[in-house]
Amino acid sequence: MEPRATADPLLVLERAEKSFGPVRALVDGSIELFPGEAHALLGENGAGKSTLVKILAGVHRADAGELRVGGVPLVFNGASDARDAGVSIIYQEPTLFPDLTVAENIYMGRQPTVAGRRIDRRAMNAAAREVFARLGVVLDPARPARGLSVADQQIVEIAKALSLNARVLVMDEPTAALTGVEVQRLFSVMETLRADGAAVMFISHRLEEVYASCQRVTIMRDGRFVRTAPIEEVSVDEIIRSMVGRDLDALFPKSETAPGEVVLDVDGIGEDGVFSDISFQVRRGEIVALAGLVGAGRSEVARAVFGIDPRSRGRVTVLGRELPGHRPRAAMAAGVALVPEDRRQQGLVMDMPIDQNMALASLDRLATGGLLRRSSERSLAVEWARRLQLKFGRLGNAASTLSGGNQQKVVLGKWLSRDPQLLIIDEPTRGIDVGTKAEVHRIIDSLVADGMAVLMISSELPEVLGMADRVLVLHEGRITAELSRAEATEDSIMRAASGLTSGAAA
């Protein structure tokens, strides 16, 4: 179906701005959605897509700009305002009531009633069944929502949107957690919605899905609108160039090192439904990056190597010693350290003093006769605070008092003080300001220059390109490309990460 350019747009967002403190998440968020179109919104992580979605959802209020729905200027002050205006959001992982039935989830608070305001279950289930029939899916309205697959949960959300007469459906990376069959089903549901004259805004990192399901595409970069075009008028190359198109700068110091002996040897590890057939090596003096989209299985691979998550197949060897699965302590004893993705939840005990956090991974070495002396914790922390140039008030202050970058340094210090042979670092600079970012990069670079092996996971392509000696690209739990430093470009990584392996296998 052609987007009817002659028709009036259902929803227009013009020059929306949004800042969080000093961070400008959205500088120019603009999009026009017409009835009957599926419209892709594309951009790298951090391009401002999520912020734009949250403005449409009524979760965030734009600082500036205009929003018109059906030609009427509106301001959404909450999720219910957006809903009343006919805008529904389908999140990647919907939030349902697991204990209630599918039909109750759809009609919560709006259950059909009979005399005396009693809920009419039969009518409610029938209405739900009718909505599912319109969508062309089979789902039992009377079953509990607990145990529904993510795909079915999304269908429930879409059914809810439909029963609310939503005209605009925003789907935020709905396919990230779906299987091939489920994606096809979602596309046919989108088709139905479009045929009814609704507008669907679709966010996906998988370009082949965009080509398969959308008529127009809007590209964003660094919080700004770049362009909108009919899908048939833009090539994959053009889209990728519009999405990334920026220069790498001196943010990434990189010393030349010659890789030495193999430190980490991963041989064919796999875990059902998470990743499969993962093999690679990391040598002394080398940074190997795991790249890929959110949900591709990067962190899961790292966690399985370290032994936090189980793996059912394959072998992991560190310096010739095979690691048992699911035993982080064995990995630590073999000289492996893991700096997790989420430092607030997994890396630090936020309410604990800085020095105790730093010593936390070394308690076995610091203790004498099972007892811990405060002073030994303190001296370890003093040493690493100096080496990492930590900026802090007092070492006795809670870790939560530090800035994000300095928190990351504490996590680094905690693991580096164990003198690891292999450092696994997940999103080393997420949410850190540019200055500290460069410092963290310098620290990693100097460690590698001293012969450490580093396995790095990063969603930021510039960081991958700037730091890594080799790049392994994951797509849906499999390695789709192994690129040398010379081969790795934003283009080749994005292709492999989107599953377009033909261009990246070289």
Partner 1 sequence: MTTSTSAPRSAASSRTPLKQRVGGVLRARETGIAVLIVVVFVAATAKNEAFASANSVQQLLLGASLIALLAVGQTMVIVTRNVDLSVGSVVGITAYVVGMSFRDNPDMPVFLGFLIGIGLGAVFGAITGMVVTVFRVPSLVVTLAGLYLIRGLDGLLVDGVIINPQSIPREFQRIGYETVLGIPVLFLLVLAVVVIAAYVMRSFRSARDLYAIGSNPAAAELAGIPSEKRVFTAFLVSGALAGLTGALFVALYAQVDVTAGRGYEFLVVAAVVVGGVAIFGGSGTVVGAALAALLLNTIDQALVASRVSGFWTDAIAGALLLGAIAFDRSLSLRIARRLRSQEGAHRDV
Q: Footprint of partner 1 on this chain (CB under 8 A)? A: 79-80, 95-100, 104, 108-109, 111, 113, 117-119, 136-138, 140, 143-144, 146-147, 149, 151-152, 179-182, 184-185, 188-189, 192, 271-274, 276, 476-477
State in angstroms the smallest separation of the CB of 94 from partner 1: 9
The answer for residues whose C-beta is within 8 angstroms of residue 393's C-beta and 6 or more apart is 401
CA-to-CA dists, residue 20 to 51, 203, 304, angstroms: 10, 22, 35
- Rank residues 152 and 469 by Cβ distance to partner 1 and give the closer one: 152
State in angstroms the smallest separation of the CB of 124 from partner 1: 10
- Rank residues 27 and 177 by Cβ distance to partner 1 and give the closer one: 177
- Rank residues 313 and 327 by Cβ distance to partner 1 and give the closer one: 313
CA-to-CA dists, residue 219 to 23, 62, 202, 271, 376, angstroms: 21, 19, 12, 35, 54
State in angstroms the smallest separation of the CB of 237 from partner 1: 30
Whether the CB-CB separation of 61 and 83 falls below 8 Å is answered with no
- Rank residues 119 and 372 by Cβ distance to partner 1 and give the closer one: 119
State in angstroms the smallest separation of the CB of 90 from partner 1: 13
Question: Can you read off the two tokens belonging to residue 396?
Answer: 């006795």
- Rank residues 138 and 258 by Cβ distance to partner 1 and give the closer one: 138
Q: Which residue has the tokens 């259902």?
A: 10
State in angstroms the smallest separation of the CB of 133 from partner 1: 10
d(CA 480, CA 501): 6
Whether the CB-CB separation of 225 and 29 falls below 8 Å is answered with yes
For 189, phi then psi, to 5°, come to: -65, -45
- Rank residues 110 and 344 by Cβ distance to partner 1 and give the closer one: 110
State in angstroms the smallest separation of the CB of 149 from partner 1: 6
List helix spans (H) across 25-120: 49-57, 79-84, 102-107
State in angstroms the smallest separation of the CB of 89 from partner 1: 10
With b for 16 or more beta-carbon neighbours within 10 A and e for fewer, the 184-198 pattern comes to ebbbebbebbbeeeb
- Rank residues 238 and 476 by Cβ distance to partner 1 and give the closer one: 476
